[in-house]
Amino acid sequence: MRRSHRLTFSLLAMFGLALCGRVQAVEKIEPDPKGLKLCTDFMAALAIEDEAKRLEAVIPLLHKTLLTEDGKDLTPDVKRFSYRKACTDAKLYKQPAQVTEVHKGTEHTAGFGKQAEKGRADKYFVAKKDDVPGRPAPLHVFWPSDGGAPKLISIGSL
């Protein structure tokens, strides 16, 4: 390899490493009362024994990107994976939900086409029961830029 190529390659490699090394610090914020209520309502809904009533209670709390086009059910993938896991593992978490910390998210657009919505998704970490090992799990609360009601946009970490 010629000297100029090695120099170019070395400079590109150093630039790439410098970019990878830039990690934004997490900004911890105080929980918003609406976000706390949303997390508490969601965890309470997951505790409902009757499957149909549980789903009926959960749907209004979720962002439209997790729902079918008519908004009356969960998308098949959400139902099969995130929701199923949340239902199974909800018993491991404190009731009512206890939020241990909140990480402020960045502005972005959620969804595509007519489901697209600008806003910010913050991570509300809910605590496990005292006798359950492991770290708190994040529920992602989406705050629409238009000032609409917050909704959960990710529940798959429970």
- How far the first Cα of the chain sits from its last, in Å, is 52
pLDDT digits (tens, 9 = 90+) for 53-62: 999 999 999 9
In a domain, residue 122? The reply is yes
Domain that holds residue 137: 39-154
In a domain, 148, yes or no: yes
91 in any annotated domain: yes
State the pTM of this model: 0.84
CA-angle at 156, arms to 120 and 132, nearest 5°: 115
In eight-state DSSP terms, residue 41 is H
User: Domain count of the chain?
Assistant: 1
> In the predicted model, what is the mean pLDDT of residues 79-92?
97
- Evaluate whether residue 23 is within a structural domain: no
Beta bridge partners of 58: none
At residue 118, φ and ψ (nearest 5 deg) are -85, 145
CA distance 39 to 48: 15
* pLDDT tens track for 14-68: 555 455 555 678 999 999 999 999 999 999 999 999 999 999 999 999 999 999 9
Is the residue at 113 inside a domain? yes
Task: Tell me whether residue 18 is in a domain.
Answer: no
Q: How far is CA 99 from the centre of its chain?
A: 14
Beta bridge partners of 152: 62, 141
